[in-house]
Amino acid sequence: MLDNLTQRLARVVKTMRGEARLTEANTAEMLREVRLALLEADVALPVVRDFIAKVKAKALGEDVIGSLSPGQALVGVVQRELTAVIGGEEAVSGGADASKYSELNLNSQPPAIILLAGLQGAGKTTTAGKLAKWLIANKKKKVLTVSCDVYRPAAIAQLKTVAGQVGADFFPSEAGQKPVDIAHAAVDWARKHYHDVLIVDTAGRLGIDEAMMQEISALHATLKPIETLFVVDAMLGQDAVNTAKAFNEALPLTGVILTKLDGDARGGAALSVRHVTGRPIKFVGVGEKLDGLEPFYPERMAQRILG
Ligand code: GDP
C-alpha cells in the first residue's frame, strides 16, 4: 500500500519543525513528494512538470503560521490547484455543485447530436447506452442511437442490444456503408420521428491512425454535433495523453467521459486529459452496467489522484 500524500509530506515536515512559511528550500523537498505521488497515479510526465511549476508559484510565500504546518499548507495548495485544473473554471466558481460539470449541452434544433469518439475498447458503445439511459430518465428525452462503425458488425449489433436495454431507438446501419451516409440518413430519420437527441457511436481503432482521424473529422463536419465527447479509458494511464492530443487536434471536442473508474485506476488520466484538451470531464463510467454513469466531481478526483 502506497503512502498517501499527506503521510509522505509529514515525513518531510518532521525535518523542518518550527518553520512558519513555505520557503524555496522546504517547498522544493515537498514538491518532490508531490511529483512522485502524481507519477504513481499515472499522470503523464509533461503534465506533472507543468502542474508542479504552477503549485510552486502558488505555494511560495504562503503563510502557514497558526495551526497549519508547512506540509498541511502545501497539501492544501496542491488539492486546490488540482481541483482547479481538472475541474476548470467550473470547479473554482461552482463549488460542490456537480450539475455544472455534467450538464450536456442539448441546446440545438432537434435532434441535438452527440458524437462519441475514442479508441476501440474505450467504452464508447457502453457509454452510448449509458448516456441514452441518463437522457431518457433524467431529461425525459426521446433518444435515437446509430453506429457508424462499419468495420465491426459486432459493434453495430452491440449498440442495438444496448439501445434496446435502455429504451432508446436504434437506427440500423451495416458494414460496407459509408459513415457519412449513415449519419445523413440517421439525422433525417430523427427529424421525421421527432427524436430530441441523436447519439452517434463511431469506429475506434486500436491505435491512432490517419485514416481513422480523417473519417471522424468528416463525420463531424457532416453532423455538426452540439456535443463531441472524447471517451477515454482511465486505465490507459500515461498513454491517455497522446490519445487525447490526437483526438483534440482532429476534432473540436466539447467534453470528455472517463470510463472504467470502478477499477484500480488512480485517475491520473483525468488530469492529463483535462490538461491536454482543456475540455471539461462531463461524466465518469463506473461499471459495465448501463446505470454505471456518474457526474464528475473534481474534488473527489483530486483526492483519488493524491491517494
Ligand atoms: P468501444 O469499443 O469503445 O465501443 O468499447 P465498449 O463499449 O465495447 O467497451 C469495451 C469494454 O469495456 C466492454 O467490456 C465494456 O463492458 C467495458 N466497459 C465500458 N465502460 C466501462 C466502465 O465504466 N467500467 C468497466 N468496468 N468496464 C467498462
**pLDDT tens, position by position, 54-100:** 888 888 766 655 545 677 778 888 888 999 989 876 655 544 454 45
Question: Is residue 187 within 8 Å of residue 113, measured between CB atoms?
Answer: yes
As a whole number of angstroms, the distance between CA 113 and CA 129 comes to 15
120 CA closest ligand 1 atom index: 2
> Is the separation of the CB atoms in 203 and 152 below 8 Å?
yes
Q: Which among 135, 158, 130, 160 is positioned nearest to 145, based on CA atoms?
A: 160
Say yes or no: CB of residue 237 within 6 Å of ligand 1.
no
Closest residue by Cα to residue 254 from 60, 114, 143:
114
Instruction: Name 156's Cβ contacts closer than 8 Å, sequence gap at least 6.
Output: 147, 149, 172, 173, 174, 175
108: cell is 440545438
Only one residue has cell 502506497, namely 2
Model confidence pLDDT, tens digit, residues 103-139: 799 999 999 999 999 999 999 999 999 999 999 999 9
Q: Is residue 4 lining ligand 1, measured as CB closer than 6 Å?
A: no
Residue type at 105 in one-letter notation? N
Q: Is the CB of 124 under 6 A from ligand 1?
A: yes
> What is the complex's ipTM, to 2 decimals?
0.99
Is the Cβ atom of 123 under 6 angstroms away from ligand 1?
Answer: yes
Q: Is 224 left (phi over 0), alpha (psi -120 to 50) or beta?
A: left
Beta strand ranges found along 109-240 (DSSP E)? 112-117, 143-147, 169-171, 197-201, 227-233
Q: Per residue in 212-259, pLDDT tens?
A: 899 999 999 999 999 999 999 999 888 888 899 999 999 999 999 999
Contacts of 228 by beta carbon, 8 Å cutoff, 6+ apart? 114, 115, 117, 220, 251, 252, 253, 254, 255
Q: Which atom of ligand 1 is nearest to the CA of 122?
A: 3
If you measure from the C-alpha of residue 121 to the centroid of ligand 1, how many angstroms do you get, rounded to a whole number? Answer: 6
pTM for this prediction: 0.91
Q: Helical H runs in 43-150?
A: 45-59, 70-94, 99-102, 124-139
CB atoms within 10 A of CB 66: 8
